[in-house]
Amino acid sequence: MVRAPYFDKNGVKKGAWSREEDDKLREHVEKYGLWNWREIPKFAGLSRCGKSCRLRWMNYLRPDVKHGNYNEEEEDLILKLHEKHGNKWSLIAAKLPGRTDNEVKNYWHAHLKKRSVKKQNTLVLKEKCSGHTSESEGSQMKKEMEARTVVSYTPSNPILESTPLSPETSCSELSNMSTDFAPKLPVSAGSNWNNIAENILPSVPTFGEFIGDFWTEPFLTDNAYTQDDFPGVSFYQEELFVSYYDDGMDFYNEMMKELPGNN
């Protein structure tokens, strides 16, 4: 599951580590300690660069490092810490004995990301819904949601049928439309979903408009990650869209319960 070993143009070995290399590095570090990663490969008799040695040691050979078998407590802690600190993997890993930043990062992407996004979206929408206090607004939202949902679960090309925009509308036009209301976020906020939600929500004019852009989202995703100046909103929109479809009727029912007059 790793790159095949090879030598680069400078004769430095790259790719998967062999058992012999692991043994050499481990033996050297245990004997002489960690003093200079740049020099260690030379003295350990390895054709690796210092950086590669360091990574191998930190993520795999270190005696106290744990692999896999995350328990529920660790998962919850990662979720909590990520919510608080964003993608500060080294910081998060520091709170989890035996876990490395690389492993935490991988585990997050592989297992926890979906869970977190789902949680965030529910919170965001609950917050949004609770802002609408009048019955009429509530019932209006409900109507919109019902209309959208019914169409969205129609088997044949639901998105095209539901969108108020013609199929000829270009991706770039839609993309521009979707970000017109977006505030500019600091780059640091791009990886923190709390910040994203906080910064975006006040700028969403109405839930109806929000839904309108949201439902055009399938046309936006082709360049959603390329908007360098504003990664947060693109990410938010795409994940929200995915979440809607993933959660299906359960999510819809949850939304309906949140609307005024439905409690």
Site for DNA, rule CB under 7 A? 1-4, 8, 13-17, 35-38, 50-52, 54-56, 59-60, 67-68, 87-91, 101-103, 105-107, 109-111, 191
For DNA, the closer CB: 54 or 142: 54
**Tokens at 186, concatenated:** 């600091």
Measured between alpha carbons, how far is 151 from 17 in angstroms, rounded to an integer? 53
- The residue among 75, 65, 73, 72 whose CA lies nearest residue 26 is 65
Report, in Å, the least distance between residue 62 CB and DNA. Answer: 12
Measured between alpha carbons, how far is 16 from 1 in angstroms, rounded to an integer? 9
For DNA, the closer CB: 90 or 262: 90
For DNA, the closer CB: 94 or 147: 94
Element (H, E) at 80: helix 72-85
For DNA, the closer CB: 198 or 246: 246
**Residue 4 burial (CB count, 10 A):** 7
Report, in Å, the least distance between residue 256 CB and DNA. Answer: 28
Distances (CA, A) of 242 to 153, 214, 215, 239: 14, 11, 11, 5
Report, in Å, the least distance between residue 124 CB and DNA. Answer: 20
Beta bridge partners, 7, equal: 13
For DNA, the closer CB: 1 or 205: 1
Report, in Å, the least distance between residue 76 CB and DNA. Answer: 18
Report, in Å, the least distance between residue 1 CB and DNA. Answer: 4
